[in-house]
Structure 1
Amino acid sequence: MKLNRRHFIGSSAAATAALAAPTVWGDNHGKPRVVVIGGGAGGATVARYLAKDSKGGIEVTLVEPSRKYYTCFFSNLYIAGFRDLASIGHSYGTLASDYGINVIHEFAIGIDRDTKRVTLSSGSVLPYDRLVLAPGIDFVDGAMPGWDVTAQNAMPHAYKGGSQTELLKRQIEAMPEGGLFCMIAPPNPFRCPPGPYERISMIAHKLSEVNPTAKILIADPKEKYSKQALFEEGWQAHYAGMIDRLGPDFGGGNVRVNPRDMTVDIDGEVNKVDVCNVIPAQKAGRVCEMAGVTEGNWAPVVPATMQSRVDENIHVLGDATNQGDMPKSGFAANSQAKVAAMAIRGALTGSKVFPAKFTNTCWSLISTDNGVKVGATYEATEEKIAKVDGFISQTGEDAELRKATFEESVGWYSGITTDMFG
């Protein structure tokens, strides 16, 4: 079935939360107040659904320092030249004008859970009855020897959409003829499990057009990865001889980089590279640490409501969470946001709530019109968000089916971004 905007919004709206938490009303201030920190797939969606479905009954504030959000999903297609940068950038104006959301473009620099207040970089203080944290990812300090964020211009991560994605694209386009591109793939768990390998496909597509003698080297600490058979089939069919992946058996987990000299040491063998895409180990966005709701690198949540297991007045969404079986993806964050919005609205206004259900699909493009996908449905248990059933594209599929899968992903992108930003 082809996914279009109407189908996506209509079907995904059915994803709702389970049992309402105890009612929490504002302390003599009228409308209950919800502050959302982070304006991506989770944060923008939960803000919009809270404002829309409460019909003005909840005061919603969205705190997001960036005035334009560039999706990490579909950014690989920009690198390959299938989309332009403007097509993956989205503003917050409609959320403010059509839904009455108070959009504040500042950083949150403090969270006081006892008084339920958020302090902003301007010094302003936002009180809340419920707080939603949807900060996405940050990188684990020291995870890649020789690299930190001060080196991200020399060796971009491009795992947050925007300027880093643009930089990586320009570096690839400027590679010398027959040059070497290297990716340092991340360890599990990380944002968008198929993402690095779709990126390799899109870079190979780009190089096959403008620099066909160039080579691609992947240093990967994982023994296996998402959609591996599908990607390897596609690489052999479209980019034979261009891509070489070194897994942990060949030193892919023992890597050190030198951004100044543009070298990559893989298990003692030093490689001079022209472009290096370092995707480090990841953790919940720092605002979760600031709020004190993390255990280890991630924020554990109650599956039925996406409430923090540390503080019932805080909900955490998307990539930052430790929630069970769902991958860290834009689709997953959007699905979790609707569950959280229903739970929050039920708690603050007494509206009806329904059992939590979640869905996710991750599409990847391997070459022109050659799309593949993996996905599943999930339910909330006491312990985790648990997978119910799933599906994945198969090797050997014909070109017509692969083209239809790609077209489905384009319809989904239009649908989800409308669902996020209105």
Structure 2
Amino acid sequence: MAFRPSRRAVVAGLSSALAAVSARGAARPRLVIVGGGVGGATAARYAAIWGRGALDVAMVEPSETYATCFFSNLYLGGLRSFDSLVHDYEALARRPGLRIVRGFVERIDRERKLVALSDGSSLAYDRLILSPGIDLDFGSVPGYSDVAAEVMPHAWKAGPQTKLLKARLDAVPDGGLIVMIAPPNPYRCPPGPYERVSMMAHALQAAGKRKTRIVVLDPKDKFSKMGLFQEGWDRRYPGVVEWQDPTIHGGIKGVDAATMTVATDFEERRADLVNVIPAQRAGRIARDAGLADATGYCPIDASSMRSAADASVFVIGDACIAGDMPKSGFAANSQAKVAALAALADLVGAPPTPAYYESTCWSLLTPTDCVKVDGVYEARGGRIKEVAGFVSDTGEADERRRRNVDEAQAWYDAMIADVFG
């Protein structure tokens, strides 16, 4: 049975330690959070709430707004506006005990416990929570680059790339060809590429482009919710989606943005739209700080999200190696609370609380057909292990799938309130 500490129990357990820190009248312990995405913003909000003014909490984020990657596929499918994905930090900035520092992080000086910013200033920390997200490894697909991405968008970081992919999708002619190159494991949002295919197919169908085809070239031989997606494609978009694993395409040899071609071992295709989702790794700032291993991601202590390389640093979200947990927005939100609580316990001398993690992911096949996967996780045997889970079944009733759509929307609204409220 998973143990989930209530917020009331968390605050009660910290109460005496927080009071003692405040009573001392000394300088408040300093907690710095790098990154204002789902993980970083959640950590900042909850550190301020639970810290009750006993800490100096600073979140470093250069942008005025944040666009969620989750639900961005619905924008591609014409089911949401882009503006509905964009959220600001105004409510977070009003949170007592929290200040938002606008700036780019240049480097982390772990020896001196300093976060150096690009404007020459720095922030000292006693504990540091890093939520740097991912970097894309453009070189993982021969011929691909940040320049090529302006012609063959990845759209794996929500923003201008998402709008570019939408514009190019809308411009594909009836009878045209779309090629997606899916990423190798591990990567952000495991079901994401395949929900994207579904939403592309829906957009084509809605526009009356019934002769256009989508080919998915995958370096993997299986993927998240595979049976559910393939059942959905066969039922909802017959003849539109062709998924190829390495035994079919023989290997992805490269892309040429100038000619809009994709080469595999067996053939070269010219496409009207190419969506390349390259391999990924932890954000540069974490790698440069020496927190990543040979995988390009950051090992952590499963019970606290503490970096395996530095006890004063916590790494959360897509950048960390989180055992059985997927790289998802909900996972980052859950990990952020564990890290904030562990950092707070460190700083005020309170006992640690058992870690509890959860993640849920909804994927839309059509506007009225949604599937889900969720899990509950605990620290066991030195890693984060799934202790309970659920996956939608193939062949589910249409009404169940329609209810999932409503649940997904309610989850999105609740998540945004929990992160940025």
Q: Same fold (TM over 0.5)?
A: yes
Match of 2:287 among 286, 289, 297: 289
Q: Secondary structure at the match of 1:62?
A: strand
Letter of the 1:272 counterpart: R
Q: Secondary structure at the match of 1:31?
A: coil
Match status 1:57 vs 2:54: yes
Any idea what the Cα deviations from partners look like across 1:138-171, whole Å, max 9, x if unmatched? 1225111000122111111101111111110011
Q: For the residues of structure 2 that align with 1:262 and 1:141, how far apart are their CA atoms? A: 17
Q: Give 1:133-172 correspondences, 5 Å limit.
A: 133-172=130-169
Per the alignment, do residues 357 and 16 of structure 1 end up closer, same or farther by CA in structure 2, a change over 3 Å counting?
Answer: farther
Count residues with an aligned counterpart: 409
Do 2:138 and 2:144's aligned partners in 1 also have CA atoms closer than 8 Å? Answer: no
Q: Give 1:4-403 correspondences, 5 Å limit.
A: 30-210=27-207, 211-251=209-249, 253-296=251-294, 297-351=296-350, 353-403=352-402
Letter of the 1:336 counterpart: Q
Q: For the residues of structure 2 that align with 1:421 and 1:252, how far apart are their CA atoms? A: 45
Q: For the residues of structure 2 that align with 1:99 and 1:88, how far apart are their CA atoms? A: 26
Do 1:15 and 1:357's aligned partners in 2 also have CA atoms closer than 8 Å? Answer: no
Do 2:219 and 2:251's aligned partners in 1 also have CA atoms closer than 8 Å? Answer: yes
Do 1:365 and 1:372's aligned partners in 2 also have CA atoms closer than 8 Å? Answer: yes
| Structure 2: gaps of 5 or more residues | none
Paired position in structure 2 for 1:7? none
Per the alignment, do residues 148 and 75 of structure 1 end up closer, same or farther by CA in structure 2, a change over 3 Å counting?
Answer: same
Per-residue deviation, 1:64 = 1.4
Q: For the residues of structure 2 that align with 1:13 and 1:79, how far apart are their CA atoms? A: 37
Per-residue deviation, 1:268 = 4.0
Do 1:13 and 1:338's aligned partners in 2 also have CA atoms closer than 8 Å? Answer: no
Per the alignment, do residues 260 and 29 of structure 1 end up closer, same or farther by CA in structure 2, a change over 3 Å counting?
Answer: farther
Do 2:52 and 2:97's aligned partners in 1 also have CA atoms closer than 8 Å? Answer: no
Do 2:204 and 2:210's aligned partners in 1 also have CA atoms closer than 8 Å? Answer: yes
Runs in 1 of length 4+ with deviation above 6 angstroms?
14-17
Q: Secondary structure at the match of 1:315?
A: strand
Q: Which has the higher contact order (CA 8 A, sep 6+)?
A: 1
Per the alignment, do residues 112 and 181 of structure 1 end up closer, same or farther by CA in structure 2, a change over 3 Å counting?
Answer: same
Q: For the residues of structure 2 that align with 1:38 and 1:252, how far apart are their CA atoms? A: 39
CA RMSD in angstroms, aligned pairs only: 2.3
Q: Secondary structure at the match of 2:357?
A: strand
Per-residue deviation, 1:12 = 8.5
Q: For the residues of structure 2 that align with 1:96 and 1:223, how far apart are their CA atoms? A: 45
Q: For the residues of structure 2 that align with 1:215 and 1:345, how far apart are their CA atoms? A: 52
| Structure 1: gaps of 5 or more residues | 1-9
Letter of the 1:36 counterpart: I
Q: For the residues of structure 2 that align with 1:16 and 1:158, how far apart are their CA atoms? A: 38
Q: For the residues of structure 1 that align with 2:155 and 2:311, how far apart are their CA atoms? A: 34
Do 2:338 and 2:355's aligned partners in 1 also have CA atoms closer than 8 Å? Answer: yes
Per-residue deviation, 1:14 = 8.5
Any idea what the Cα deviations from partners look like across 1:64-91, whole Å, max 9, x if unmatched? 1221110000000011111111111011
Q: For the residues of structure 2 that align with 1:249 and 1:216, how far apart are their CA atoms? A: 18
